[in-house]
Structure 1
């Protein structure tokens, strides 16, 4: 079984990748998308999104990170992919799933699911532009407004040279509303010869088991579920090995990672972003940990970095005592 950590713009960035891979259970990460519009990006932009490029394209815990590009112009995508490839990423992933209106309005992300031939052109251009040893993969949704072209889109990605395909089992029109339609993924699998990874609405071990059974995929991509429960990947692996419930991450286990997260936020993000990022994660952690509810309510009105740092230190001491 392979477990991947999803790219999530504005949430699952290099900071959370670092922390979640320290907890363990994840085989590979994908970065937030790097938007390619009409210019050749400087190295500093790629490094801002994927600072792991300075560490052999791995998090500090040693988990590989694949860089994701989003764009619709084959030439521009190829030129930027070549520049990115020179920085030594683990691989390059192509985004054909983003549902954001501002992205779709310019023909990027999920908008391309209406034009399989353009998808094939983008993938092929990137595949030709980067060294043969570098994996090129793609992420798609089931379609734009409906699922009529999902097989054709998957085949276009394969024919363009993608070596792996992640399927977010919803259309662009579905957004992020449950459910995810895992039962449609076998149609995508039947249409291609490359490995297919199932993604969408995997919040628990039981979700993961049902997703595997329904989709037929042994590889899963975890998104918000892994952010809300940092031990989810470990718990899925334990259940898969017949040790259900033996490798859970308790709130007390998570507190050192919360402190690490806060330190990384303070070191790597602008002051105006710091408190908000902590609140954002605590808000999702409330789905799994009752203690996170109290923590979120306490920190919700705080903005001073020093006060938050003192609060986190006190929280750790309280847990230890």
Structure 2
């Protein structure tokens, strides 16, 4: 079984990837998307979103990190894909699932699920540009407004030469509202021969197994679930027990060090509060922690609260 850490814009950056892959259980990470419009981007843009490129395309703990691109122009995507490969990305992922309105308005992300031919053209151009030994993969949703093109889109991506397909089991319109329609992934899988990874609404090991059964996929991708329970990948793969609150608060302190001394230190107070929002789903103590730090804007004050939580 392969467990992949999902790309989440503004949430799963290189610091979070480093933290979660150190906890363990992940076989691959995918970056936040690199937005491609009508030019070849400079090296610094790729390194900003994927500093792991300077470490052989891997996190410190050795997990490969695949650069994800988002855009609408096949040739510009192809040229930038080759740049990412030359910089050290162990493959290219193409984003056809982002539901953000600003992205969709500029004909990027999930809106392309309305245009099966466009999906084919983009994947084909990127696959032709990238050396064959590097995988070209894609992530889709089941559709934009409905699921009528789900199978056609998957078949087009396969026909264009993609090596793998991740399916988030909801449409753009359905957003992140439960349930995820894992059975639709099984329909896609039965109508294609490409390896398929199942994604969506996996918050526990039990739900991962249910997803595997309903989607007929062994491999899964988790995102929000890993933020709500940082060792979820280990729970799924190795039947580990959920991380204790004591261990989690220690992890939060460790993460605080990464954030404060990293290049995003000024965002730290908001980032740790954001993470508490996910943790509330699995840890009732996170509600109190959030209340204790909600009004704090100084990193040292927040870490002091975390240390008190840890000692308790």
1:287 is the counterpart of 2:276? no
Question: In the alignment, which residue of structure 2 is the partner of 1:242?
Answer: none
Please tell me the root mean square deviation across aligned C-alpha atoms, in Å.
Answer: 1.3
> Per the alignment, in what secondary structure is the counterpart of residue 252 of structure 2?
helix
1:152 is the counterpart of 2:146? no
Structure-to-structure mapping, 1:1-321, within 5 angstroms: 1-239=1-239, 246-316=240-310, 318-319=311-312
Q: What is the TM-score normalised by the length of structure 1?
A: 0.94
Within 1, Cα distance between the matches of 2:243 and 2:163?
A: 34
2:141–2:167 Cα contact (<8 Å) kept: yes
The runs of 5 or more residues in structure 2 that have no matched partner are: none
> Per the alignment, in what secondary structure is the counterpart of residue 87 of structure 2?
coil
1:136–1:162 Cα contact (<8 Å) kept: yes
Aligned length: 312
Within 1, Cα distance between the matches of 2:154 and 2:262?
A: 37
Aligned-residue offset at 1:83: 1.0
Q: Which runs of 4 or more aligned residues in structure 1 lie more than 6 Å from their structure 2 counterparts after TM superposition?
A: none
Aligned-residue offset at 1:271: 4.5
The runs of 5 or more residues in structure 1 that have no matched partner are: 240-245
2:229–2:242 Cα contact (<8 Å) kept: no
> Per the alignment, in what secondary structure is the counterpart of residue 110 of structure 1?
helix
Q: What is the TM-score normalised by the length of structure 2?
A: 0.96
Within 2, Cα distance between the matches of 1:86 and 1:256?
A: 38
Aligned-residue offset at 1:253: 1.6
